Amino acid sequence: MIKKLIVVFVVLCIGSLMLAESLDQKLASLDERNALLFLQPLANSMGAGMNSGLFNTAKVLKPFLPNIKVGSTFVIVPSSDKTFIYQSPLGHYFDDFEVKTATIFGKAGALTEIENFILPRGADLSIVPVPQASLSIGLPLGNEFMVRGMPNMKINDGVGDIAFWGVGLKHSIDQYLPEVFPIDIAIQGVYHQMEVADIIKFNAWAVNLAASKSFFIFTLYGGVGYEAADLEVKYVFDAPFLEKPIETKLNFEAQNEFRATLGGKFTVLPFLSVYADYSIASTKAKTHSNTINFGVGIGF
């Protein structure tokens, strides 16, 4: 059941980006410089999404007790991430010119005047869903280990194989404070990796300082964190004006840096909870990559 839910979320997230043509077909008409600008919003959104939903309480599980979470984060795409300024590829081929066109989240691609071909269209997305499923288990000395992900699976011919995994460790800080201290506090570090076919590899890291307070069946939680992500892309640049295709490899970082999160969790049954939170993540470009996260937890 959990595997099926993950597949649905992945299809929503990655499959929607590859309508009408595959990602390698979209990138074929873009040189390295323009491909980076086309894909930068994807790195920002996936980095923000993968680094969301990492905790819904600062309380650490007791040794060897498990907890399973299944949910999704919805990353809100800023309007500034829907277009970029396309420049004449490989500068020496043509006189310099610029045209505004779609990023991977934009709409229709522009028609270039000199090369006279249509640039790739985007997926026309304002919200990007990112799947999440995790298993956590309490460890001695106030620690909690988490593993996230899914097995390697083929979604469809357009998307190809997708693999996603992550690991994290949460450590209780309030255990060192007097017992009368009113809230739970923990520090957490997490690493994720996602691969899409042989084209894209995401890496994401996050360090969070979390706090929470329980009121009977409701838990209020929040935290601040630092995050980073990078994107590696391999494709063939094969525009109509080229004499021969050029194998291209891109490596670049997401612009996400700091994040603040606030959320709440309701314990519906002793072993079942539902939770939701909202995060504001600042970027190096002085914009925000905001996320809404919700899910269901089963365990202790």
Structure tokens at 125: 């997305």
Q: What is the DSSP letter of 26?
A: H
CB 121 within 8 A of CB 107: yes
Alpha helices in the chain (DSSP H): 2-13, 23-27, 32-50
pLDDT tens track for 214-227: 998 999 999 999 99
Counted domains in the chain: 1
pLDDT tens track for 82-121: 888 888 775 545 555 678 888 888 887 766 655 556 788 8
Strand 272-283 vs strand 256-269: parallel, antiparallel, or unpaired?
antiparallel
pLDDT at 21: 63
**80 SS3 class:** helix
The residue whose two tokens read 């595997």 is 3
The residue whose two tokens read 């980006």 is 17
Range of the domain at 76: 2-299
Q: Is the entire prediction scored with pTM above 0.85?
A: no
pLDDT at 114: 55
Measured CA to CA in angstroms, residue 23 lies from 8, 38, 52, 237, 289 at distances of 19, 11, 25, 12, 23
pLDDT top residue among 1 and 203: 203
**Residue type (1 letter), 8:** V
Of the ranges 138-147, 158-167, 179-188, 225-234, which one carries the lowest mean pLDDT score?
Answer: 158-167
